Amino acid sequence: MKFTYFKQIILVMCLLLISQIGAFSQSIPKYSNEFLSIGVGARAFGMSNTVIASADDVTAGFWNPSGLINQEDKLQISVMHSNYLNGLANYDYLALSTKVNENAALSFSMVRFGVDDIPNTLDLIRNGQVDYNRISSFSAVDYGFFVSYAQKALIDGLSFGGSAKVIRRTAGEFTSAWGFGLDASARYQTDNDWSFAAVGRDITTTFNAWNFNFSEAEEAIFRQTGNEVPENSLELTLPKFILGAAKKITFSEDISLLTEVNLDVNTDGKRNTLLRTNLISGDPHIGIEAAYKNIIFLRGGAGNLQQEKLGENYEQQWTFMPNIGLGLKLKQITIDYALTDVGDQSGSNLSHVFSIRAAVNPEK
């Protein structure tokens, strides 16, 4: 009977998905605000971002706000840093969460993804002369700010949550954008260590208002090089729905194993994923976490299953992205590490991710 309520939540999200698909044309660009799909926390990276059903700490404010209700500590703080894509970009995360009371929790999160020291060569050639002293640099930075809230439902094991998020994106002094969106989620946990979750991101469609600022000389360079001069515009991010199920198996007092499966459902048309139609695309991924005395954690995951042209004849083959990770919990401090895309033999896509979580509990 209790699980029936959760199935009703899934049905509502599916109906919302269908209505949003019909509301917009296929001309809306894919991968809008895609930096928010990278994820946060080394635990999640090690499990290929397969955590929406099991996240129950401060990172749940990003992954599944309804999971905040299961936070055991009064206050948690988490920070993360990664030299993403083998140092091409810097990716950082900072979050704070607190239990408002036994039935509610609140969190604040910030994500920054930036590529710094990009050469600006628009003024390199002037009047036919090349002057390298006129090369300057700028940064392209994306920010995401989240305020998340979770509330216990009247049904045992069921909780709801949501996030309001503000997006800020800049590329030097050339362009900037402000955006706003809403996320919603639900989580249901059974008495036999099963967890089920549903997350709807950008459920109202997120709007990014872009403003471009080029001088007349810079616009002339665009035209001379055969490029269009960008104009102020409105970018839409269509809803994305994530479904998840997790099961924890306890072998003894010291050893346990958590397995989780997620399915990302994008509504911006056909993508290069395992499940795809002209309207939606489904991307499954799996993660596991082995724990020893709830102190040492070993993690692994696989995702990003897609077709690529490989080999001498460029035949299409199915590939996936494997990730691994480690965790160490020392009383109130938890240190996590992940190595992503370990199957990339060239090493060009490898990323080392480190995150720290600290818990604060007032003395009783």
Domain boundaries, the chain: 2-360
Say if residue 55's pLDDT is above 90: yes
Express each pLDDT in 241-268 by its tens digit: 999 999 999 999 999 999 999 999 998 8
Beta bridge partners of 333: 330, 358
Q: Average pLDDT of 119-130?
A: 74
pLDDT of amino acid 10: 45
Read off the tokens for 137: 């640099």
Q: What angle do CA 63, 331, 328 make, to 5 degrees?
A: 60
pLDDT of amino acid 28: 60
Split at pLDDT 50, 70, 90, the class of 214 is confident
Handedness of CA 158, 361, 112, 335 (dihedral sign): negative
Express each pLDDT in 60-113 by its tens digit: 999 999 999 999 899 999 999 988 777 788 999 999 999 999 999 999 999 999
Q: Average pLDDT of 33-42?
A: 92
Higher pLDDT, 294 or 133: 294
Return mean pLDDT, the chain.
85
State the Cα–Cα distance between residues 139 and 253, nearest whole angstrom: 50
pLDDT of amino acid 311: 65
Contacts of residue 132, Cβ cutoff 8 Å, sequence gap at least 6: 124
DSSP 43-101: HHHHTTT--TTT--STTHHHH-GGGGGG--SSEEEEEEEEEHHHHTEEEEEEEEEEEEE
State the Cα–Cα distance between residues 121 and 25, nearest whole angstrom: 37
Say if residue 11's pLDDT is above 70: no
Beta carbons of 338 and 327 less than 8 angstroms apart: no
Give the max Cα distance, the chain.
77
Architecture of domain 2-360: Beta Barrel (2.40)
State the Cα–Cα distance between residues 46 and 321, nearest whole angstrom: 11
Exposed, middle or buried, 301 (CB in 10 Å: 0-12/13-18/19+)?
Answer: buried
Q: Can you give the pTM of this predicted structure?
A: 0.85
167: helix, coil or strand? strand
For residue 21, the surrounding DSSP H or E stretch is helix 2-23
